[in-house]
Structure 1
Amino acid sequence: MSAPYERPTLAPSLYAYAKGLRDRDPDGLPPRGGHPLPDTARPPSRRNTAFRHREARAAVTDTLLPFLDAPDPARAAAEAECALAATGVVREQGTFLAAMAVEPPDEPAARARARSFARHLVRTGTTVLGVAAGLGLLSRLGEPEDVPYLRVLGLLDGLGNSVDGALAPLDRSAAAAVWLIGRIRGDELRGLVDALAADDRAAVRDRLTSLPTRARGMGPEIARRTAEAVGLAGLLRADPDHPGLLASAVHLLARMTSSRDYHAEITRYADAVDLYGTVAAHAHRLPRDVDQRARLLTLALDLHSGPSYLLPWPPGRREALHRTLLDTAAWSGKAPTDPDGRRRAEWIRRTARQLRAAPADPHRFRIEVAVADPGDPDVVETRILIDGRPLVPEAFGPGPGDSPERLLDSGALRAAPEPREVRLAEAYCTEGCCGALYVTVRREGGHVVWSDWRRPSGAAGRPDLPTYRFDAAAYDAEVARAEHDHGWAWPARRTARLIAAGLRDQPDLVTRWGLQEGWISTDFHEPDTTLVTFTGPPLGRPGRNTAEGETRQFLWRLPDDGTPPEVRAAETLRLLAEGDPRAYVERS
């Protein structure tokens, strides 16, 4: 008869199950996301049990604490797994996070017992809740001997994130490899994933250098995980002359600086400072084409005012690397003749000029507009620097600063005696999902005060923000300078800003038709095209439904034809003054 503390199932442990799958096909890869779990791995659902995050965390924590110092860790693990199932909690990731937050004992012997308890949960657990709890504890207590077990469990669907959280503190390269193997199935990365799964280091390097360098083929997190999985900083440092390796390193590093993600991936890359240094030291060896120059300038821009500024730089190191990359990226001579190449060359000239004009020792409050490489379409963001440090990535993180149209053209940053709340940044996925960053701006005597910070639905773990007081005269001068600085804007964007300014002065140009001004900017994928949108009732035509309350969106596309922005904007405003804008192309 089974002992009373033994697990009430004859199912194998999840570790044994995963190991069996791997051993049966050692050269194969799991399906995207991982192998499906056995039917016995998940607790039965309880329709009437619904936990909020805090309640679930408390239930898991209260369940685990009595077992941490148990004299018999194997028995404790079996009993804890049954107790976790009885709580009604069903989400393994929440269980992992709750266990991760449990404070391990300080006394060495008790800490060793807690570690043994966690290992029994991980290695012999038969349910995702038990294994996830063990993984959460091992994220604080794990040692190198746990790595092989964690890598095997990473092959299972439903445990990938928890394994990643437990494995990363022990072996970032192994964690990244598990993450890639479990998630990547695209043809472009398949060869690299196969080499990682086979642990073929020579093939890993060759596959890395053959990866396509199109920006959209590599998201910021995939770029970081790839760099970690292959040990990119060490590879490049050991062999900077390898054909293609330096270019691949520049590409991955530049992708990690992109704001198109929920985190600033460059600040999560532990080898960023090392890789930046090696890249800068050998950047002069790269081909002098527009691709390489644009990526080097992207790195210089991020070092100047983006998340890369926040890396743990030795004194003077960041400034030196910034100068080297800026000098190496500088464009001289004739621009390419193809539209994309010409656009990127213009961006290089414009951005390099902007960076060289920036003061080496800026005032306490500084505003800069950052435009991404047109080869990697991204937002145009307003960056706020306080004492030289970029505010948004340090204080918020899940998204970039708001656009200059929202913060500068609207006068939102101007200070008045009446307090005004201003949104400085929004999460990449929208404010309603992961939050935003707000501050209240007011004038107080000879100062402008930023206070009452608000971060709805996001930025957990970010530092509390102090009240900032700026000299009012210097603040007003900086806001005015930024509002009148159009050096960052290319012709189509300048046209859009002038049209928007004209409509602010003459709103009746659209309101008289029952329309509302919409989005006025440039096309994300065609930056040389100005877009002007309106919403309102459809144009009355035979056969059209003109029911009250029905609305349409109307879209004007204005490709750049070489006409000066001032002339294009004036012509557009003239058309609005002379006729109904709904007579143009409509998009429902």
Structure 2
Amino acid sequence: MSAQEERDALTLPPSLYEHALHLLREAPDGIPPRRGYPLPQKPEPGEAPLSHEEAANAIRDALNPLPDNSATLHRRFARLGIRDRHTHLSRSTVAGLPLPAGQRDAARSLGRQLTRTGTTAPAVTAGLALLIRLGEPEDVPYLSVLGLFREFVRPAVDALDTLDRPCAAVVWLATHTRRDELRPLVRALWTGDRQAVRTELVAFPATPRFVSTTVARRIAEAARLPELLGQHPSDTALLARAGRLVVRMGSTRDYRTDLLTYDDALILYESVVTRAGQLPPTLDHHATLLSLALDLSSGTGVLLDWPPGRRATLLESLGRQLAGPRWASSADTDGGEADQRLRAGWIRRTGRRPFTRQATPGRLRVEVVAGDLVDREPVETRLLLDGRPVVPEFFALGPARSPDYLLDDGRLRAGPEPREVQLAEAYCTEGCCGALYVTIRRDGDQVVWENWRRPQAMPGSREPAPELPAYRFDAAAYDAEIVRAESDTSWSWPARTVARLIKTGLMERPDLLSRWDARRGWISSGFEDPDTTVVTFSYAPGLAAGKQDGIPLQFRWVVPDDGTPPEAQAGAALRRLAEEDPKTYAQVCGGSRERAEELGFPWPDNA
């Protein structure tokens, strides 16, 4: 180190690591706040900022040759114009730097210096990027502390994930958890009080509103859940909560499922299923075990790295358990709260489906799965190729499309012309994160699935998604499977059946809406209240005649289940559409306030 470099090192301000330690010591309850800490604000020099390309080149220049100490990199960054605004670029640029074997030790040493003594965000981020690639267990305490800064959470957790998953999960939960109901658990995890972790783990509400798939995985990782279950083999509340977290990890309701990224998924599945007999036969526990069975039968759980025959054995075990009189009687209720009625009805309809399905003679199996209605799980058309579910294996960013889309409209049928079909859409919409498509065509006595389309990279990976092969099916077996799936409505409940019958009626008689200048929209069971049927339509003057005047308004008509047969309810709804203008009893749900006022309709307060 030169004399100038020694002077620079002596005059550096306190490190960001030391600043984070100070903030943590000052925290009133000993844990970081929600979203973590902001970085200390520093005045930016007044020179013109570097462009993206200029900054990336400057970062590469600063690391070539590789500095042997933190102070040198700080000085180079300052001279080359690298400022706090370049923090994220620093990570991505350093992540792509080639590191020959002979430089790895020096790069690791530099990464450690930067994370321990770095004083600027770009320099510390460069250190974190190096430790993502080269970190070792001794770096865990420093990464954990730096991860409390909002700008450093992601790189710090990425580095910790390869070194200490439970520690990574604690940092992630501490900075990502927004709900007050989860803060006591976060506090127990942060302090490492295992008894408090056990207590708080079974106390918080584990509904989808509070626990996404990622939160469920991070809780299981942070709590070292398999170890905790092993230490308390008779704790049925803890066992039930473990099962609930596995269900949430495998859910397709959220942006993505996390079950396949949970390292201990097999161990936890084994623990819950083999000890399921300890659970009291309540409606909630029945729903948990049935959800696990559905996942083992046709969901994401199929894709775990099971030893030969083990998945089938666990599924059979659940089947025997739930077929017993103690469990079968748990769903024999039509009273109680609405959620209890919903769940009991779902169990009665679905209870034996994962255990009685027969293998089809072809390569393709189609299973319509309606998840737990209380959790508002989606209704999916699960497509299995050679026993493996297509959507979570090839896409994993959202659920398979519903039977209303794929089966009711005949999209999976193989016709004389090739047809591109959307099998799944990202939970956040196709425009954001894409969709999964396949082209279906008939080729003589075979049906071919080919020309797959999906996002260029798989979730959580920088690597391009591999090309998917074409799949060929015996045409007779394929057609028989599609016909079987289209005719099987045993999964449906009354409101959903009413919706399907109304939709079919409107497809056969579009004049029922067109006479009112209306056009059919989305029709299904209600999301918030699955016991209702929701009919949507759009309206604008002249719409039916093709002379639409202005932007249409969207309307929503909610039809409650009155207890009569679905056919009777659908018939009554169609007759009302024929006889009464639906705009007089439906509510505006979309468009604009100005358009609604122009056409003389009240704008909803909650829009």
**2: CA distance, partners of 1:520 / 1:444:** 35
**2: CA distance, partners of 1:272 / 1:495:** 39
Cα distance, 1:76 vs structure 2: 5.3
2:596 aligns to what? none
Change (3 A) 1:44 1:494: farther
Change (3 A) 1:287 1:56: farther
Change (3 A) 1:60 1:463: farther
Stretches of structure 2 lacking an aligned partner (at least 5 in a row): 543-547, 590-607
2:390 aligns to what? 391
2:504 aligns to what? 501
Within 5 A, what are the aligned runs for 1:79-478?
81-82=77-78, 86=81, 90=85, 92-107=87-102, 110-330=103-323, 331-333=327-329, 334-338=332-336, 339-360=338-359, 363-456=362-455, 459=458, 461=463, 462-478=465-481
Cα distance, 1:115 vs structure 2: 0.9
**2: CA distance, partners of 1:465 / 1:478:** 23
TM-score by length of 1: 0.90
522-531 or 192-201, larger mean C-alpha shift:
192-201
Change (3 A) 1:102 1:259: farther
Cα distance, 1:361 vs structure 2: 6.6
Q: Answer whether contact 1:196 1:204 (CA < 8 A) is retained.
A: yes
1:531 matched to 2:530? The reply is no
Amino acid corresponding to residue 515 of structure 1 in structure 2? A
1:31 matched to 2:5? The reply is no
Q: Answer whether contact 1:61 1:102 (CA < 8 A) is retained.
A: no
Amino acid corresponding to residue 218 of structure 1 in structure 2? V
Q: Answer whether contact 2:56 2:90 (CA < 8 A) is retained.
A: no
Q: Secondary structure at the match of 2:523?
A: strand
Change (3 A) 1:336 1:271: farther
Q: Secondary structure at the match of 1:205?
A: helix
Q: Give the length in aligned residue pairs.
A: 574
User: Stretches of 4+ moved more than 6 A in 1?
Assistant: 42-48
Amino acid corresponding to residue 132 of structure 2 in structure 1? S
Determine which of 515, 519, 531 is the counterpart of 1:516: 519
Change (3 A) 1:50 1:308: farther
Amino acid corresponding to residue 204 of structure 1 in structure 2? V
Q: Secondary structure at the match of 2:214?
A: helix
Q: Answer whether contact 1:530 1:559 (CA < 8 A) is retained.
A: yes
Amino acid corresponding to residue 160 of structure 1 in structure 2? V
Change (3 A) 1:88 1:470: farther
**2: CA distance, partners of 1:117 / 1:569:** 70
Amino acid corresponding to residue 564 of structure 1 in structure 2? P
Q: Answer whether contact 1:435 1:457 (CA < 8 A) is retained.
A: no
**1: CA distance, partners of 2:411 / 2:49:** 48
**2: CA distance, partners of 1:501 / 1:44:** 66
**1: CA distance, partners of 2:421 / 2:574:** 29
Amino acid corresponding to residue 302 of structure 1 in structure 2? D
1:21 aligns to what? 23
Amino acid corresponding to residue 415 of structure 1 in structure 2? A
Within 5 A, what are the aligned runs for 1:536-575?
536-537=539-540, 548-575=549-576
Cα distance, 1:82 vs structure 2: 4.0
String of CA shifts for 1:89-131, please: whole Å, max 9, x gaps. Answer: 9354454344344454334xx3211211221222222222222
**2: CA distance, partners of 1:89 / 1:291:** 50
**2: CA distance, partners of 1:60 / 1:251:** 50
2:595 aligns to what? none
Q: Answer whether contact 1:369 1:488 (CA < 8 A) is retained.
A: yes
Cα distance, 1:508 vs structure 2: 2.1
1:544 aligns to what? none
Q: Answer whether contact 1:415 1:442 (CA < 8 A) is retained.
A: yes
**1: CA distance, partners of 2:265 / 2:46:** 44
Determine which of 78, 81, 86 is the counterpart of 2:74: 78
Change (3 A) 1:91 1:417: farther
Amino acid corresponding to residue 81 of structure 2 in structure 1? A
Q: Secondary structure at the match of 1:474?
A: helix
Amino acid corresponding to residue 293 of structure 1 in structure 2? H
Determine which of 488, 491, 497 is the counterpart of 2:491: 488
Within 5 A, what are the aligned runs for 1:59-70?
59=57, 62-63=60-61, 66-68=64-66
Cα distance, 1:482 vs structure 2: 1.0
Q: Answer whether contact 2:519 2:537 (CA < 8 A) is retained.
A: yes
Change (3 A) 1:530 1:450: same
Cα distance, 1:227 vs structure 2: 0.7
TM-score by length of 2: 0.88
Q: Answer whether contact 1:259 1:378 (CA < 8 A) is retained.
A: yes
Amino acid corresponding to residue 3 of structure 1 in structure 2? E
Cα distance, 1:313 vs structure 2: 0.9
1:542 aligns to what? none
Amino acid corresponding to residue 573 of structure 2 in structure 1? T
**2: CA distance, partners of 1:197 / 1:244:** 22
**1: CA distance, partners of 2:562 / 2:119:** 66
RMSD: 2.8
